[in-house]
């Protein structure tokens, strides 16, 4: 039976680490106090979780979400299509959406994320095109307060090119953490990049830009790197799809600039595989940034899902293991690299303290029923326990019955040709 949550946990027993080692884990409030051989904590008093049959990972962090857009696909019923068509479809809906609607969808999305093991989320927030441009910020500030103690939520502004700086700056009084924006979509992408970075410097908050989200459009990341090279403010960029299409020599120069400026790069496979490549029905390019080159160069890299069930991505499970699966399948990362990008790597890019099953780390943990870390990605079992700062915040117990045919029965059917 699942206990009432949240629940402070003192020990995790019998879990396997990602490398296969069976361990017991002692927690001391919000941090991991000790990792012992499995069985070492048997019989100790306190609240313990039996994790025999589970793999224990760092909890997921979603580094790039759009909680204000999530779960609108079925209401909007847009035609399937590329980024410009998704922007147009959402714009029409957003004019009528209000603070209550945004908060409601954000709550439901965060609930799914938490259930699947995500304990930190960074969401971009649009300025509403309706009469109340700051409705999204008020909604998400309220939802952040409601989820305090369950997950960490960061908010990034996502202005349109006609959002005036005075309105943009008001978002920071309403709890926005970082300047965002999609300068590659504005009429002068380099001037737009400068305008956004100027604002970040003026407000003193850092920037997380939507960068170069097209297969053949402008490149703003070079300018971001040039400007951020002397920054001590937080800095990251999402999408960066254009990098995946560059010639190797062009890419090498840009990747080096990104590394020297220490810009964290956030790849978003599910949404960009969906949005990009509609005009290439054969040999369709994969809309994923150049993850291998970035990793090999030592750039800090994260991965997330971006949109969930809205005009930008009709599907999505709010599941870090879904993103990890796509990183292996579509970006050719190793399973260990994939798990890093949706866990430790994402936390690093979000500026959060280290977490996971290691002594001294924050006890933000995800236990998934699986025999190995790779199997956890492959089967993505719904059987999961999720801890945030040492407290159990989600537990899912799967009851499943399968009428597996007896071997003899299968043989008989085959022999008689009935199969
Ligand atoms: Zn985005």
Q: Over pLDDT 70: what percentage of the chain? A: 97
- What is the per-residue pLDDT for 45? 93
Calculate how far, in angstroms, residue 404's C-alpha sits from the geometric centre of ligand 1.
43
Q: What separation in Å is there between the alpha carbon of 238 and the centre of ligand 1?
A: 7
| Fold that domain 7-59+357-396 belongs to in CATH | Urease, subunit C; domain 1 (2.30.40)
Domain boundaries, the chain: 7-59+357-396, 60-349
Confidence (pLDDT) at 362? 98
Q: How far is the CA of 92 from the centre of ligand 1 (A)?
A: 18
Q: How confident is the model at residue 419 (pLDDT cuts 50, 70, 90)?
A: very low
When the pLDDT of each residue in the chain is averaged and rounded to a whole number, the result is 96
CA of 306 to the centre of ligand 1 (A): 5
Distance 296 CA to ligand 1 centre (A): 25
Please compute the mean of the pLDDT values over residues 83-104 and round it to a whole number. Answer: 95
Give the pair of three-digit tokens for residue 62: 């979603």
Q: How confident is the model at residue 332 (pLDDT cuts 50, 70, 90)?
A: very high
User: What separation in Å is there between the alpha carbon of 12 and the centre of ligand 1?
Assistant: 36
Q: If you measure from the C-alpha of residue 15 to the centroid of ligand 1, how many angstroms do you get, rounded to a whole number?
A: 35
Once rounded to an integer, what is the mean pLDDT over residues 374-391? 98
**pLDDT over 70 at 37, yes or no:** yes
**Cα of 164 from ligand 1 centre, angstroms:** 20
The CA 66 to ligand 1 mean position distance, Å, reads 6
Percentage of the chain modeled with pLDDT above 90: 95
Tokens linked to 316 = 């999505």
Per-residue pLDDT tens over the stretch 298-317: 999 999 999 999 999 999 99
Q: For residue 409, what pLDDT is reported?
A: 64
CA of 273 to the centre of ligand 1 (A): 13
> Could you tell me the distance, in angstroms and rounded to a whole number, from the CA of residue 126 to the centre of ligand 1?
10
Q: What is the pLDDT of residue 174?
A: 96
**pLDDT of 277 higher than 80:** yes
Question: How many Å lie between the centroid of ligand 1 and the Cα of residue 64?
Answer: 6
- State residue 414's pLDDT score: 53
Residue 190 tokens, joined: 């380099």
CATH class belonging to 60-349:
alpha beta
> What mean pLDDT comes out for the span 94-101?
95
CA of 335 to the centre of ligand 1 (A): 24
């Amino acid at each position: 039976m699942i206990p009432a949550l949240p629940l402070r946990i003192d020990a995790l027993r019998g879990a396997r680490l990602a490398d296969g080692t069976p361990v017991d884990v002692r927690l001391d409030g919000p941090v991991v106090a000790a990792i012992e051989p499995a069985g070492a904590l048997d019989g100790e008093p306190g609240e313990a979780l039996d994790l025999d049959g589970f793999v224990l990972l760092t909890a997921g962090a979603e580094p790039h979400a759009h909680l204000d857009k999530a779960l609108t696909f079925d209401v909007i019923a847009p035609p399937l299509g590329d980024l410009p068509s998704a922007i147009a479809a959402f714009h029409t809906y957003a004019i009528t959406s209000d603070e209550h609607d945004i908060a409601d969808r954000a709550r439901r999305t965060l609930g799914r994320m938490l259930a699947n093991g995500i304990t930190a989320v960074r969401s971009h927030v649009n300025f509403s095109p309706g009469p109340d441009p700051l409705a999204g910020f008020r909604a998400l500030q309220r939802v952040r307060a409601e989820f305090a103690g369950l997950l960490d939520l960061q908010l990034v502004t996502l202005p349109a090119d006609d959002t005036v700086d005075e309105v943009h700056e008001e978002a920071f009084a309403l709890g926005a953490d970082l300047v965002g924006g999609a300068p590659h979509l504005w009429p002068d992408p380099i001037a737009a990049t400068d305008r956004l970075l100027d604002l970040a410097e003026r407000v003193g908050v850092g920037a997380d830009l939507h960068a170069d989200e097209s297969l053949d459009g402008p490149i703003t990341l070079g300018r971001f790197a040039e400007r951020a090279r002397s920054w001590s403010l937080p800095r990251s960029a999402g999408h960066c799809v254009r990098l995946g299409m560059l010639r190797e020599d062009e890419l090498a120069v840009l990747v080096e600039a990104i590394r020297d400026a220490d810009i964290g790069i956030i790849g978003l496979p599910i949404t960009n595989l969906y949005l990009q490549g509609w005009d290439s029905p054969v040999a369709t390019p994969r809309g994923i940034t150049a993850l291998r080159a970035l990793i090999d160069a030592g750039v800090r890299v994260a991965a997330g899902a971006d949109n969930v069930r809205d005009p930008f991505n009709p599907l999505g499970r709010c599941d870090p293991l879904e993103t990890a699966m796509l990183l292996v399948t579509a970006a050719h990362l190793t399973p260990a690299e994939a798990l890093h990008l949706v866990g430790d790597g994402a936390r690093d890019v979000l500026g959060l303290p280290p977490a996971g099953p290691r002594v001294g780390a924050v006890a933000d943990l995800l236990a998934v029923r699986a025999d190995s870390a790779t199997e956890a990605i492959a089967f993505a079992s719904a059987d999961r326990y999720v801890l945030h700062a040492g407290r159990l915040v989600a537990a899912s117990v799967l009851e499943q019955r399968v009428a597996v045919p007896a071997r003899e029965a299968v043989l008989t059917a085959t022999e008689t040709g009935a199969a």
